[in-house]
Amino acid sequence: MSQQVITPELCEWISEQSRAGHPADSILAAMLGSGWNDTIARQALARVLGPSAAPTSSPGSAPGTTAGLPEPDLSRFAPVIDAGDRQVQVVMALRQPRVVVFGNLLSDEECDGITALAGRRLARSETVATGSEGSEVNAARTSDGMFFERGETDLIRRIESRIATLLRWPLDHGEGLQVLRYRPGAEYQPHYDYFEPAHASTPGILKRGGQRVATLVMYLNTPVAGGSTIFPDIGLDVAPVKGNAVFFSYDRPHPSTQTLHGGSPVLDGEKWVATKWLRQGVFT
């Protein structure tokens, strides 16, 4: 199976199946039945049909989940996307893995408003516990953070609505906005945002909306130096620029998504970010 590669012939066959009206789930099932590796088959589907069309789960998924993946409308290759109440720039886009850098997603006033609201409620950031249920302080994450309830204020509601429009994903499929502050030297070492299936906490977490399928990191200020968002698997660094954001999606909880990412150390000044995680289903 390790010798399987995505060839032009395979891509053309997938295109033919799609043009014939076969849904992505049926094409995936046919490929698996022919002996294709599941990971490679899904990567091929995402490459040909686009990340939003590729199947995100196997048959028998829990009811209430949304098919496909969050995905901005890049079909026209337009440099600006209408996000409802704001025109958002497309700075950069990768297809596989799906990574999009947005410009001007938030105004300076919105960035300042979020940091002012969050600043009073910051505490040492935690991560999902690896050996038990709940969360824990982790040396890999040296930031302070807090969570807003979904729709907690008018400002938060406006931004959440904008995100839902931009990424074409139901508003109620999003977790509450998390705000993090990184002081000089603080970092978040490379990690994945999906919930590890083997962790003790995961079964309980998944009851509240299923797996995470995408992440949007919004920069609330511009550090003097350092603090880029790094993607080691693909050699990408995204500069933290106030009002900009980086979006990436992942169709399964597996390293094959190439969504390993982290926050490099802040070298001078502080870095503030607001993160929105999107789930398969309604987040409660």
Q: Give the model's pLDDT for residue 52.
A: 64
Which distant-in-sequence residues (6+ apart) come within 8 Å of 263 by Cβ? 143, 182, 187, 188, 227, 228, 229, 230, 271, 273
User: Is pLDDT at 272 greater than 90 in this prediction?
Assistant: yes
How high is the pLDDT of residue 87? 97
pLDDT class for 46, splitting at 50, 70, 90? confident
257 pLDDT higher than 60:
yes
Sequence-separated contacts (24+) of 155-162 with Cβ below 8 Å:
155/110, 155/113, 155/114, 155/117, 156/114, 158/85, 158/110, 159/106, 159/110, 159/114, 160/276, 161/84, 161/85, 162/83, 162/84, 162/85, 162/86, 162/105
Q: Comparing C-alpha atoms, which of 29, 94, 2 is closest to residue 42?
A: 29
Helix (H) and strand (E) counts in the chain: 6, 17
Kindly report, residue by residue over 108-123, the tens digit of the pLDDT: 999 999 999 999 999 8
SS3 172: helix
Alpha carbon distance 168, 181 (integer Å)? 28
Residue 55: what pLDDT? Answer: 64
Indicate if the pLDDT at residue 61 is higher than 70. no
Q: What is the pLDDT of residue 278?
A: 98
The arithmetic mean of pLDDT across residues 249-276, rounded, is: 96
3-state secondary structure of 281: coil
Higher per-residue confidence, 61 vs 95: 95
pLDDT at 236: 98
Beta carbons of 57 and 281 less than 8 angstroms apart? no
C-alpha to C-alpha distance for 161 and 150, rounded to whole angstroms: 11
CA dihedral sign of residues 277, 245, 142, 97: positive
Mean pLDDT in residue range 262-271: 96
Q: How confident is the model at residue 282 (pLDDT cuts 50, 70, 90)?
A: very high
pLDDT (0 to 100) of residue 39: 78
Tokens at 58, concatenated: 């196997």
The per-residue pLDDT for range 68-79, each reduced to its tens digit, is 899 999 988 899
Confidence of residue 255 (pLDDT cuts 50, 70, 90): very high
Per-residue model confidence as pLDDT tens digits over 17-30 = 888 888 887 788 77
* pLDDT for position 59: 42
Q: What percent of the chain has pLDDT over 70?
A: 88
The tokens for 213 are 């399928």
Q: How high is the pLDDT of residue 137?
A: 44
Would you give the end-to-end CA distance of the chain in angstroms? 39
Predicted confidence band of residue 58 (pLDDT cuts 50, 70, 90):
very low
134 versus 182: which is more confidently predicted?
182
Q: Render pLDDT for 93-150 as a digit per residue (tens, 0 to 9).
A: 999 999 999 999 999 999 999 999 999 999 866 555 455 455 444 555 678 999 999 9
